[in-house]
Structure 1
Amino acid sequence: MRIILFVLMAGCALAAEVPGGRKTITVTDEARRIHAEALVVDGHNDLPWQFRQAKDMDFRVIDLRKPQKQLHTDLARLRVGNVGCQFWSAYVPSSTDKKRTAIKQTMEQIDIIHRLIDRYPDAFEMAATSEDILRIRKAGKIASLIGVEGGHSIDSSIGVLRVYYRLGVRYMTLTHSESLEWADSATDKPRCAGLSKFGEAVVGEMNRLGMLVDISHVSAECMRKVLKVTKAPVIASHSSAYALADHPRNVPDDVLKLVKANGGVIMVNFYSGFITPEGARATKRSMEMVRKLRAEYTDEAAFQSAMQAYRKENPFPAGSIHDVIAHIEHIAKVAGIDHVGIGSDFDGIEVVPNQLEDVATYPRITQGLLDKGYNREQIHKILGGNALRVLREAEKVASSLR
């Protein structure tokens, strides 16, 4: 999801009140130790889009060495959250496909990510492989990878897909909010009964390259067809459980079982609109408004202004960390403990759960899981071990196909 942030987000204290009488999570010394020893892998952060919104894409406007209260992410909070590996999203709107500017803008976003990493060399380093991730984290830096958000970004060109891989892209979401000729979106009318023959070829080439196939944003039928043809484990970089919040962006139980058989991982999204039933209903209405306003406004600033007004007039409950943990537990129950991770969608969402306000709050997830009876090994799998395993297995598949 990609939304400009219009309100200041809450701070990063590790103990806070949770509205509605639900238990406040306070991080204990035991949880801190478990969290500090974990490789924390976040499947999706939209900070690069925030840089694109800065005037002239000037990096001096957002200095991550200083507190960035209008964002979910800065260097100090990444350290508090012990983030060890971050997939940065190279997102551009689906509308760029119609304007034939998708490749240009995606390349600009990839460039922004490289510039971001180069600007803070003591904090970030680009990772190309699973072994790079471990090496970079051991050096005390955040291993950084790129995820392209939406197959419209390749403009139906497998050659472009290969170029993206060479530039550091290690996953691609097959669609974003609109269906393509070759893959159907969860939030649009179907165009190809899930996945076309060309879509199968895209999946096959991603397997050959070692690029993870990301099933977030695609329709449930597209998910099923991908899981029939892929030779490598898949990810959902930022999706939650449909059984708990019936939004089409979430993953239904039958697909969770297929992901288990595939060896993949579902990385739970923190967006309030995907974690509670009330939020899911409100978000479905909001997405209908997005389609309406996209048709009405061709100017991006005008569209964002109209959406800001709509959201201000139509608020919905934020939910809490307990809802996110419930999604983690549900996926672990249906798919297994080896097939769940975290994909926050920070800096791409406008409403966040109570006690999960920013990247500093990941230790609360560790505490919440510890409170539920999960042990150190299980928590480490959820925080990042499962995602690392999937990347490593995708690399093995790629090696076998070359």
Structure 2
Amino acid sequence: MADLLEELNTAAEAGELDKPPAPPDPPPAHEPHPAPVAAPAARARSLLAAHPVADGYSGLPWALRELPWHDFETGDCGLESDLPRLRAGRVGAQFWSVHVPEALSADRAVGATLEQIDLVKHVVAAHSEGLRLARNASETADAHNCGRIATLIGPACGAALGDSLGTLRALHSLGLCAVTLSGTSWAGPDGLTTFGEEVVREMNRLGVMADLSGASDGTAHRVIAVSKSPVIFTRSGARAVRDHPANLPDELLAEVGEAKGLCLVPLAAERTGSSVREVADHLDRVREVAGPECVGLSGTYDTAAVHPDGLADPSCYPLLIAELIERDWSEAELAQLTWGNVQRALRGADFTARAARERRTASTATIELLDG
């Protein structure tokens, strides 16, 4: 009997082997399958939806001045920028340059700058559903939160001041946010004169940022030393990547980093190369030398600049961000690059101005008094 039972048990075990294997148990509820990683282009669009581009330089005012008519709503007028393309590129703020040609006399430069500011205000008022004027970080954030593109006036060229601190104050009262410190008698190859240093101090008191793109290395070093407010370079790449006079050597980039200034890398083929990858090389270098909190973007659209392939207009910003994602830039670094660093510089200028106005009144110095 025992032999029969043993034979039956053995047969049963053999039958078990003939059955197909049972499917594996599903993973526990607390261990979900990993989500697929989104492609860089999709990640770029998602990031820009939360952290839009603060574009450091647009030539729209002068470009609009040269046109007999324009349609900023549809873009049917030959511009590189218009509301649809700005929205497609997730641009949340722009500095609209009020630079004028260097050939203009000093008196004509002041008048032409005033005309440019008037034009900016007219265009923004005519497109109030898409644009809003801003002067500082708070107004820039408010504009973005209301679904508008913040429009900041500046930079203006140094010649527009007419060697007068009173003119500087008048331009600031009209909304000017930045002045380029080059092309004047008080900011030259050897640095700042005594009057030039007073100009920088008065800019600090007002909250007008000093733009050092195109300035001599001597002027840049001295302004960084004198200014209590963050300085900006609105159109400068890394000279170690491309040897152009407007680009910054590593020594100066390191100084910008120490002073918590801001280098805005232009999308201009002459300065930063003819491809998306070359522009990204400049951004990598500035991040490495100055730090991730000191690098930003400058479209230089609607200027005479030729743009790199793939970056023909503001709608192409997601392509550049996708390239940086592939280079392992973190989300925090990209958020600083696109939006946070410009906001920090604007806040720094405003904080410095509030503190300076408690210590000193408007300067009555003249160039004749200090440099004569």
Q: TM-score range by the shorter chain?
A: 0.7 to 0.9
Partner of residue 92, structure 1: 100
Partner of 2:252: 255
2:155 is paired with a residue whose SS is strand
1:106 to 113, 138, 145: 113
Residue number among 34, 59, 62 corresponding to 1:46 in the alignment: 59
Contact 1:219 1:248 in 2 (8 A): no
Query: Partner of 1:401 in structure 2?
Result: 356
Equivalent pair of 2:70/2:77 in contact (CA under 8 Å): no
Matches within 5 A, 1:256-275: 256-275=253-272
Runs of 4+ aligned structure 1 residues displaced above 3 Å come to none
CA shift in 2, pair 1:79/1:225, >3 Å: same
1:382-402 CA-partner distances (Å, limit 9, x unpaired): 012111101101111111111
Change (3 A) 1:251 1:81: same
Matched letter for residue 117 of structure 1? V
Verify the 8 A CA contact 2:276 2:310 in the aligned structure 1.
yes
Name the amino acid aligned to 2:166: G
Letter in 2 for 1:162: R
Query: Is contact 2:131-2:151 (8 Å) kept?
Result: yes
SS class of match (1:96) = coil
Query: Contact (CA 8 Å) 1:154, 1:160: kept in 2 or not?
Result: yes
Shift of 1:67: 2.7
Taking the TM superposition and a 5 Å limit, the aligned residue runs for 1:185-224 are 190=189, 193-224=190-221
Q: Is the 8 A contact 1:97 1:155 kept in 2?
A: no
Aligned to 1:284: none
CA distance in 2, matches of 1:387, 1:94: 27
Q: Which residue of 2 aligns with 1:389?
A: 344
Shift of 1:350: 3.7
Unaligned stretches of 5+ residues in structure 1: 1-25, 56-60, 185-189, 277-318
* 1:311-342 Cα distance to aligned partner (Å, 9 max, x none): xxxxxxxx111111110110000000010000
For 1:334, the equivalent position in structure 2 comes to 289
Aligned residue in 2 for 1:228: 225
Instruction: Name the CA distance, whole Å, in 2 between partners of 1:377 and 1:275.
Output: 24
Q: CA RMSD in A?
A: 1.3
Deviation per residue, 1:343-363 (Å, 9 max, x gap) = 111111341101111010111
1:307 aligns to what? none
Structure 2 residue runs without a partner (length 5+): 1-38, 358-372
Which residue in the other structure is 2:164 paired with? 157
1:54 partner letter? L
* CA distance in 2 between partners of 1:386 and 1:68 (Å): 33
Tell me which residue corresponds to 2:235.
238
Partner of 1:10: none
> Given the alignment, which residue of 109, 124, 131 partners 1:117?
124
Asked if residue 167 in structure 1 is aligned to residue 171 in structure 2, the reply is no
Residue 371 (1) aligns with residue 326 (2): yes
Once the two structures are TM-superposed, the CA of residue 96 in structure 1 deviates from its matched residue by 1.4
- Pair 1:180-2:184 in alignment: yes
Map Cα deviations across residues 163-213 of structure 1 (whole Å, 9 max, x no partner). 1111111111112xxx321112xxxxx3xx121111111111111111111
Partner of 1:280: none
**Aligned mates of 2:218, 2:318 — CA distance in 1:** 35
What are the superposed Cα offsets for residues 353-375 of structure 1, whole Å, 9 maximum, x if unpaired?
A: 01111010111121111100011
- Residue identity matched to 1:93: P
Question: Aligned partner of 1:113: which letter?
Answer: V
Alignment of 1:6-155 (within 5 A): 28-55=41-68, 61-68=69-76, 70-97=78-105, 100-155=107-162
Query: Using the alignment, how far apart are the partners of 1:129 and 1:30 within structure 2?
Result: 29
Please report how far the alpha carbon of residue 68 of structure 1 lies from its aligned counterpart in structure 2 after TM superposition: 3.8
Distance in 2 between the 1:49 and 1:202 partners?
26
Tell me how far apart the structure 2 counterparts of residues 348 and 257 of structure 1 sit (CA, whole Å): 29
Task: Report which of the two structures shows the higher radius of gyration computed on alpha carbons.
Answer: 2
Q: 1:383 corresponds to which letter in structure 2?
A: T
Q: Which SS does the other structure have where 2:310 is aligned? A: coil
* Paired residues of 1:355 and 1:364 also in contact (CA < 8 A): yes
- Equivalent of 2:304, from 349, 363, 380? 349
**Residue 27 of structure 1: CA displacement?**
5.4
Write the deviation string for residues 82-116 of structure 1: whole angstroms up to 9, x where unpaired: 11011101111122135x21111000001111111
Amino acid at match of 2:325: L
Whether the aligned pair in 2 keeps the contact of 1:239 and 1:266 (CA below 8 Å) is yes
Q: Which amino acid aligns with 2:216?
A: S
Q: Secondary structure at the match of 2:224?
A: helix
Per-residue CA deviations over 1:244-275 (Å, capped at 9, x if unaligned) read: 11111111111111111111110001111111
| 1:27 to 1:67, Cα distance in 2 relative to 1, 3 A | farther
Kindly tell me: are residues 339 and 350 of structure 1, through their superposed partners in 2, closer, same or farther at Cα, counting changes over 3 Å? closer
Give the alignment's TM-score, normalised by structure 1: 0.77
Of 309, 313, 323, which aligns to 2:278? 323
- Cα displacement (A) at 1:69: 6.6
Q: Distance in 2 between matches of 1:69 and 1:353?
A: 22
| Equivalent-residue separation in structure 1 for 2:291 and 2:40 (angstroms) | 26
Deviates more, 1:328-337 or 1:251-260: 251-260
Q: Conserved in 1, the CA contact under 8 Å of 2:71 and 2:77?
A: no
Per the normalisation by structure 2, the TM-score is 0.83
Inter-CA distance 69–114: structure 2 relative to 1 (3 Å threshold):
closer
